[in-house]
Amino acid sequence: MGDDIQSHTTQSHTTQSHTTQSQTQHRGGFGEFGGSSGGLIERTFRERIVLVGMVQAQATSREVEASLDELELLVETAGADPVARLLQRRSAPDPATFVGSGKANAIKAIVAAQDCDTVVFDDELTPAQQFNLEKILGCTALDRTAVILDIFAQNASTVEGKAQVELAQLRYRLPRLRSLAGRYSQQAGGIGTRGPGETQLEVNRRRLLRRIHKLETDLRKVRDHRRTQTKARRRTRNRAVVLVGYTNAGKSSLLNRLTEAEVLVEDRLFATLDATTRRLALPGGETVFVTDTVGFVKKLPHQLVTAFQTTLDVVRDADLLVHVVDGTNANPLASIAAVRTVLTEIGAALVPELLVFNKADKATRATRLANLHDGAIAVSAHSGHNIDVLLEAIGQRIRRTTELVELFVPWARGDVVAAVHREGLVSAHQSEELGMRMHAHLEPASVGALDEFVVTHPRDRQALVEPST
């Protein structure tokens, strides 16, 4: 099995000096259970990080380099400094150390030369691989999942968001408690007990399991409450539009432009974590609820997808997904594919999607990309370019979920006329001698309730021609 490692020092840090610290000071990412911030990366000092990627059988060096570029941004967002990068070519990961013992020793030499605190691998490490690597390297070994969890821990602000992040962290840590075995090797007995009692490791495992079960129960209640809200909303004419997309694509900026929501906007990964919902009136008269959701990323940790089910249910239950794509992205198709992969994983692949290429004010390629995708729109959340076109497109897509029917309502039934206006969108109406003839977009349930007043239904003929008003 041939392999090859290439390494280089990150340019922005080559001239920086770094005071040599002892190994005990270079505690690295976890410490016992994370830093004082509640994340997984220690922030009592700026950690120096070595990044490691692997080019496997079906991947190319360019793809892995692009993934490492993103990992570098993730590490910087988490509050650490990437100072060196290694790219290894290998047919398959080593079961024990991921990179093989020889290459692990090579990484150890680079860690010593660069005076680094932590090594971050672009692929997920098994608990055994992480344990073995830390023994060889003499410092903390983390993977992409740990970095993303750390960023989420920093950015969660609501009670629900913090609970979801904590649950994901605990699920990640539980199988990795073995790395603390040496630290917690003593056993604790008690008066009246036979034998030495249980190890501190077992105590910690039991405490983590209790906390996990408590968080799962709390989030299950939130999820049940949200499902009840969804059922109540579906009985009204209000529809749900959810903004999805790659992290830092501009979803929060777009929500602010559409609804004046004043959501936090920063040019960094995962700046927005907690979902925000606002009411939006469309040009056709419809009212929809627009929700901004957490951004997606390649190799999104399974722990996060599972823990954030209560939030991601909003995506699955949406009537329309506005898929926001960064028009300045070097590889927008890869970002689109990554988002759609997550949508499939959470059961939202069949929800109608409207592609929107954002940041048209910064790059003309956003318009070119929109022209290559049927029905896509190029907009600028910053300048407001094409926002009116986007609103009209959302209205048209929402109306596709309703049925266009023709009704005739006698003058004596003013309550029915009011109900039609309340339950649907009246696109045309005409006064006649005996009553009001109306063309309206209605939900299937409303069509059934008003069946006695329905004159023409779309199933009766191929097209229902609306009279001019």
Beta strands at 435-442 and 425-431: parallel, antiparallel or unpaired: antiparallel
Secondary structure class of 53 (helix, strand, coil): strand
Dihedral over alpha carbons 327, 384, 399, 351 (to 10 degrees): 30
Q: How many CB atoms lie within 10 A of CB 330?
A: 9
User: By the 8 A CB rule, do 93 and 123 touch?
Assistant: yes
What are the sequence ranges of the domains in the chain?
4-13+20-152, 157-188+195-221, 237-399, 403-460
Alpha carbons 179 and 338: distance in angstroms, whole number? 32
Please list the alpha-helical segments (H only) found in 156-286: 159-173, 200-234, 251-259
User: By the 8 A CB rule, do 369 and 378 touch?
Assistant: yes
- Asked, colleague to colleague, whether 4-13+20-152 and 237-399 share their fold, the answer is yes
CATH number of the 237-399 domain: 3.40.50.300
Residue 13 — left, alpha, or beta (φ > 0 → left; ψ -120 to 50 → alpha)? alpha
Secondary structure class of 125 (helix, strand, coil): coil
Alpha carbons 409 and 444: distance in angstroms, whole number? 18
pLDDT tens for each residue of the chain, 469 residues long: 445 545 555 444 433 434 333 333 444 553 333 333 455 555 566 889 999 999 987 778 888 898 899 899 899 888 889 999 998 888 899 999 999 989 999 999 999 999 888 999 999 999 999 999 999 999 989 999 999 888 888 877 778 888 888 888 898 888 887 655 544 444 444 445 445 555 777 888 888 899 999 998 988 888 888 778 766 666 666 788 999 999 888 888 899 999 887 765 666 666 666 678 888 988 877 788 899 887 888 887 777 777 777 777 888 888 899 999 999 888 899 899 989 998 998 888 889 999 999 999 887 889 999 999 999 999 999 999 999 999 999 988 887 777 788 999 999 999 999 888 877 778 788 899 899 999 887 877 778 788 889 887 654 444 444 444 3
Tokens of 123: 């692929």
Tokens of 84: 């060196």
Q: How many CB atoms lie within 10 A of CB 427?
A: 17
Fold (topology level) of 4-13+20-152: Rossmann fold (3.40.50)
The DSSP letter of residue 59 is -
Buried b (16+ CB within 10 A) or exposed e, 79-98: bbbbbbbbbbbbeebbebbb
What pLDDT is stored for residue 21 in this prediction? 39
Alpha carbons 95 and 99: distance in angstroms, whole number? 9
Alpha carbons 4 and 85: distance in angstroms, whole number? 13
Q: Number of C-alpha atoms within 13 angstroms, CB side, residue 406?
A: 14
What pLDDT is stored for residue 23 in this prediction? 39
Secondary structure class of 455 (helix, strand, coil): strand
What pLDDT is stored for residue 264 in this prediction? 58
Measured between its terminal Cα atoms, the distance across the chain in Å is 75
Q: Look up the pTM and report it.
A: 0.73
Alpha carbons 381 and 326: distance in angstroms, whole number? 11
